[in-house]
Structure 1
Amino acid sequence: MADQSAGIVFIHGAWHNHETWDHVVPILNARGIATTVFDMPGAGVNARLPASFLKRPLDSQAFATEPSPNAGVTQDERTDFVISQVRETAEKCGGKVVLAGHSLGGATVSHVVERVPELISAAVYITAFMLPPGMPPVAMIQDESMADALVPGLFAADPAAVGALRVDFRSEDPDYQARIHEAYAGDVGEEMFKKAEAHLHCDEPAQVATVPSPVTKERFGQVPRHYIHCTEDRAVTPAGQKKMIALMDEAMGNKTAVHVMATSHSPFDADPQGLAKILGDIALG
């Protein structure tokens, strides 16, 4: 086994890929922290795109009704994949690792920690879905505390009909593009946001949002957890973040360590130094 060193395994959020972490990873590596990034099943290079998305100008009716070729991706598939990454990183680092997830990636953090708590030194939720036992992400998405979230207003199809949470990141409509920008990264400059947006895929598998959180006090509850609370988030609202923290603390009978960042839903682009400082300090103990 390798000499013991700090390591962080990253889980990107819905529609994103491994490039989410491009501005954060070099800072952590410079502190001697090993990092593992990847495209989740159904994301990045693993995403399958509807044919209508690739044809421009867009046929909005076809895009609204074409079944998603990405719809078959399951939460179990994602959980198993990340566990393999955690095991590999833990072996490389010679000990437990930090598991950090953004947005909907937080759901996978919970599933993984519940399965392999012995491999996780800390679970970190970056303005993410940290859900109490039995709650699926869709219940939180529909919660009153999330009423001001901008992302559902971007959906270009009925998730139940096409099997995906579908957003047209290649839209040529300036109003729609402005709403995308505001929803995800209102505090990030246009040029940087356009580079980030180019990596987003259109179809997030809908069924992963329906799987209840599996966490228990006996397993998940024994792992230290941290929440990075982004106060200017328009995707996962500040009120929603606070509600999830309160619900989880009550369910687990212990406290989440909360770190506050005055950023949008994309702290990795808005303030990568600040995010890397929090993550690095957690990893180094």
Structure 2
Amino acid sequence: MTASKAVFALIHGGWHNHSSWSKVTPFLEAQGFTALTIDLPGAGVHALAPTSRDHRPFDPVAFASERSPVAEATQEERTEAVIALVKQAAPLGSGKVILVGHSAGGMTVSAVAERVPELLLAVVYLAGFMVPKGMPLLTMLQHETMSSALAPKLFIGDPIAIGATRIHAGSTDEAYRALLKASFYADVPEADFAQAASQLHCDESNAGALAPSEITPGRFGSVPRHYIRCTRDCAVPLSGQDHMIATVDGSIGGKTITHTLESSHSPFLSQPANLSKILVDIALRSNTAQ
């Protein structure tokens, strides 16, 4: 890698972990870029499952009501973790980082862009939640443009009572697994879907869905932003993606640069080469503009 190249920091979405990017990083590295990933607090190696998940025989009532062991996790913890990753990444390249957030990870990359805009060459949303100041993810998810989203049908139990939004990725119920695939992985080969599902954790702390966006024109708005639209997304529908782009552009100013993939919610699995090409193009464009 040449010293002039930016480094990518790749942030996973809800219920996922750093392995989301395992098919993308080799493409980026083949083009001479470094890419760092992370398990956010409460995810991956940091995830804790409700004990009822592993009880046999499985008790669906207990699983739907047990208090989440990650209920106290905060959005601030995730923001701080990614700021630390960005600070680690910056000296490895040009001194600035291209920060990429998938799905709910968009809330974290927005918070980081607001806090350390001077360390970012660009911020990129992959079918990500990019919401205006003062709005939490949950409010955006309830907008009419999100009404066709399938993912909420996966949710189990009362999020307020259990302190988290819970799914059951390990369910053996055929209808539930079909809904999981349709929501996140509609165009992903079956073997890759099975592997991805095995990596998902049960609980996303409510903090990530309830913490309001704090983006401002002066800080977040100073970072070039890109949005990769996924046209066949059933978790964050295209109409919702376009609504978020228009809303943030209208409230923050400037223009989000858009890119489009004919994909489901998880092009890092179904189209890693095409996704990587877009990311490399963003990096090259950003270096030229710097």
TM-score (norm 1): 0.98
Question: Runs of 5+ in structure 2 lacking a partner?
Answer: 286-290
Structure 1 residues 250-280: Cα deviation after superposition (integer angstroms, max 9, x where no partner): 0122110000101000010110000000011
Query: Corresponding residue for 2:9?
Result: 9
How far is the alpha carbon of 1:93 from its aligned partner?
1.6
Query: Corresponding residue for 1:146?
Result: 146
Structure 1 residues 148-200: Cα deviation after superposition (integer angstroms, max 9, x where no partner): 10111111111111011100001010011100000001111211100111110
Mapped to 2, the partners of 1:101 and 1:61 lie a distance apart of 34
Answer whether contact 1:6 1:32 (CA < 8 A) is retained.
Answer: no
Structure 1 residues 225-269: Cα deviation after superposition (integer angstroms, max 9, x where no partner): 000000000000111101000001101221100001010000101
Task: Give the SS at the match of 1:69.
Answer: coil
Mapped to 2, the partners of 1:5 and 1:154 lie a distance apart of 40
Mapped to 2, the partners of 1:183 and 1:101 lie a distance apart of 18
Query: Corresponding residue for 1:135?
Result: 135
Query: Corresponding residue for 1:43?
Result: 43
Answer whether contact 1:132 1:215 (CA < 8 A) is retained.
Answer: yes
Mapped to 2, the partners of 1:205 and 1:277 lie a distance apart of 33
Mapped to 2, the partners of 1:11 and 1:136 lie a distance apart of 18
Structure 1 residues 74-114: Cα deviation after superposition (integer angstroms, max 9, x where no partner): 01000011000000100222411100000000000000000
Q: CA RMSD in A?
A: 1.0
Mapped to 2, the partners of 1:207 and 1:134 lie a distance apart of 14
Mapped to 1, the partners of 2:260 and 2:48 lie a distance apart of 35
Structure 1 stretches of at least 4 aligned residues deviating more than 3 Å after TM superposition: none
Is 1:167 aligned with 2:171? no
Query: Corresponding residue for 2:181?
Result: 181
Answer whether contact 2:7 2:94 (CA < 8 A) is retained.
Answer: no
Task: Give the SS at the match of 1:198.
Answer: helix
Answer whether contact 1:97 1:283 (CA < 8 A) is retained.
Answer: no
Question: Runs of 5+ in structure 1 lacking a partner?
Answer: none
How far is the alpha carbon of 1:208 from its aligned partner?
1.3
How far is the alpha carbon of 1:5 from its aligned partner?
2.5
Structure 1 residues 58-86: Cα deviation after superposition (integer angstroms, max 9, x where no partner): 21000011000011110100001100000
**1:129–1:141 Cα change, 3 Å:** same
Mapped to 2, the partners of 1:5 and 1:240 lie a distance apart of 33
Mapped to 2, the partners of 1:96 and 1:239 lie a distance apart of 32
Answer whether contact 2:17 2:39 (CA < 8 A) is retained.
Answer: yes
TM-score (norm 2): 0.96
Q: Percent identity?
A: 50
Mapped to 1, the partners of 2:99 and 2:245 lie a distance apart of 17
Query: Corresponding residue for 2:288?
Result: none
Query: Corresponding residue for 1:55?
Result: 55
Mapped to 1, the partners of 2:260 and 2:250 lie a distance apart of 20
How far is the alpha carbon of 1:214 from its aligned partner?
0.5
Query: Corresponding residue for 2:256?
Result: 256
